A and B are shown apart, each in its own frame.
Chain A
Amino acid sequence: MKNRTKLPILYLGLVLALMYVPILVVILYSFNESKISSVWGGFSLQWYARLFRDRAMFEALRNTLVLGGASCAAAGVVGTLGAFGMTKARLRGQGAVEYLSALPMMVPEIILGMVFMAFFSLIGLPFGMGTLVLAHTAFCIPYVFMLVKARLVGMDPSLAEAAQDLGAPPVRVFFDVTLPLTAPAIASGMLLAFAMSIDDVIISVFVTGVDVNTLPIKIYTQLKTGVTPEVNALCTLMFLATLAVCLLAAFLARERKAKE
């Protein structure tokens, strides 16, 4: 019996290792002295230094964070309100709007990019941060909406009734019971939306203005034209950030479990 369990573990290990190979390669080469990535020139931190002096890169980073923040906030508000309204009452056109709002998730990104670009130029919107936020909000809303709606639908209705029964008027019930219990779903939705936004390249390429660059766009164009090793350094830093967030999330989850 013991021998049989070896194969699955080996397989898991192999696939996982393969998943990390490209990442590790990037990290490794970020310390490469040589400019040509295929030749190892020696250990160096020069690309990191170059990175920190790169203005354009910082601006792109700032744009990305602002864009992500604005989109996830807007999606958070619109999606949460919508989920609340739709679960409280039966409204006309509800099903259709729900389906439409989820379309950005089901449609290939290239089509979304194309559609937004055509539409924005039709109504004469200047391309830039504004159009970026609009487009990003559009594909962020479904994440928030679906998570919040699922939470509301699954919530025990007798909780709100109990609060009312004990003397709380409807507004009080909302703030004391409904909102706190929905908050985790709202937070997860917004977090997911943020992650999707800062990684988006296709849609951003289509709806951005000439002088507005986001980090993914910058990396993408650099990957296509000619790679400066700075990109390695940038990617490594991004990876470290992702790693930190993932570990933090795992740690928090464990803490919460331990409390119970």
Chain B
Amino acid sequence: MAGSILRLENIEKSFGGTPVLRGVSLDVAQGEFVTLLGSSGCGKTTTLRIIAGLEQPDAGRVLLGGADMAGVPPERRDVNTVFQSYALFPHMTVEQNVGYALKVRRVPKPELRQRVREALALVQLEGFEKRRPAQLSGGQRQRVAIARSVINRPKLLLLDEPLGALDLQLRRQMQQELKRLQKKLGISFVYITHDQEEALNMSDRIAVMKDGLFQQMGPPEEIYGSPKTAYVARFVGAANILHCHVDQVEGELVRFANAQGSGAFLARGRRFQPGEPVTLAIRGEQARAVKGLDRSAPGLLGVVKEKSFAGGLLRVTLELSGGGEFVCSRQGLDSDLTPGDQAKIVWEPEHACPVDQELSQSPAGKEGGAGES
């Protein structure tokens, strides 16, 4: 794709015989905020380090602004990184830290001072020039790290879980600030986190990563509303996973039945045959447990196991007849359900999403990809 800031083509990387990246491809456009989302060990940090040039891929290409970065060391790439530990130079002042990228490029002193001042103003740390990292709070250090990496206006900024060490309040605040900064500067961001709320809040596109592969990539609504695999469905917003068999197909509407009951979902353009096994993901917020429904009505039959209240949502856990659990959640405190009640779980067909098996190897068909078998 012409004009893309970053392009990864089938990146593979192993450490000591263990494959960490198994064919990762990515296109980041100008000004885009892309998040790599996944649990620890999935390969997101390695991907970032390869983009920065701190690691070399075993196979695949890294293209920045269309140019192949093979053999190009980190100091010559127009990419900057915000490290997880901030990596502020402890023996330098804030001014020297922030101005380092300019000092290395021999920017004359007066201009350097001016630009440092501007960068500090961007992150609301005016006047902090002479302080040392040891004297700053966690949030302040974080902002110095950001100022340091944007001062040179790189085309691409890599951020490795920058908000991980901050408390919840500060984290939420910094999320807003980072997003604002990104839009203002127009820099493309590649952001790493394991916090799905953060990813959903900030990103233009999310890539959910597992075991060195992208499971799904797309805008937040798509990831949330149409998860492709059970893993994505579970990782981004809790989901209930249901295994069943197709009963009838009526155009877009597909009915299924299984030991727990019956229900329907939308085909979403795919073709289903009666008898075909299907895995469905249904979000707890989009299902309701209702008492007193007719036995023959569509829905899953279950017995209320427990009710809990967490973070503004009322969670009702039901034990399904035929085994398994289902969690419904909704706003509000009142509910006429008590543990032991029989209830039916119902949902709108468009809220049940058919999902696939997880990707265990790189999707076939990419150019030059040396896929594993």
Contact = CB atoms under 8 A, between A and B. Distances in A.
B75 interface: yes
A146 B135 CA distance: 30
B333 interface: no
A166 B80 contact: yes
Nearest to A157: B87
Contacts of A156: 85, 87
Contact of A162 (B83, B132, B135): B83
A179 B152 CA distance: 25
A90 to B, nearest CB: 13
Contacts of A176: 89, 100
Interface residues on A, range: 10 to 19
Interface stretch (A69-77, A167-175, A233-241): A167-175
Nearest to B85: A158
B75 A260 contact: no
B54 A161 contact: yes
B270 interface: no
A163 interface: yes
Contacts of B80: 165-166
A36 to B, nearest CB: 57
Interface string A139-170: 00000000000000000101101111111110
B75 A161 contact: no
A253 to B, nearest CB: 16
B83 A167 contact: no
Question: Which label, helix, strand, loop or mixed, suits the secondary structure of the A interface?
Answer: helix
Interface in B114-162: 132, 134-135, 148-149, 152
Interface string A173-195: 00011001100000000000000
B87 A169 contact: no
B104 A166 contact: yes
B91 interface: yes
A162 B101 CA distance: 10
Contact of B104 (A158, A167, A181): A167
Contacts of A181: 90-91
Interface in B74-125: 74-76, 79-81, 83-85, 87, 89-91, 100-101, 104-105
Contact of B105 (A163, A167, A180): A167
Contact of B81 (A165, A168, A169, A172): A165
A180 B83 contact: no
A260 B134 CA distance: 8
Contacts of A158: 83-85, 87
22 contacts: A158-B83, A158-B85, A161-B83, A162-B81, A162-B89, A163-B89, A164-B74, A165-B54, A165-B74, A165-B81, A166-B75, A166-B100, A166-B104, A166-B148, A167-B75, A167-B76, A167-B104, A168-B104, A169-B75, A176-B89, A180-B91, A260-B135
Interface of B: 52, 54, 73-76, 79-81, 83-85, 87, 89-91, 100-101, 104-105, 132, 134-135, 148-149, 152
Return the 5 tightest CB-CB contacts between A and B, nearest first. A162-B87, A166-B101, A158-B87, A167-B104, A164-B74
Interface of A: 156, 158-159, 161-169, 172, 176-177, 180-181, 260
Given A162-B83, A166-B152, 18 more contacts: A156-B85, A158-B85, A158-B87, A161-B74, A162-B87, A164-B73, A164-B74, A165-B74, A165-B80, A165-B149, A166-B75, A166-B104, A167-B101, A167-B104, A168-B75, A169-B73, A169-B75, A181-B90
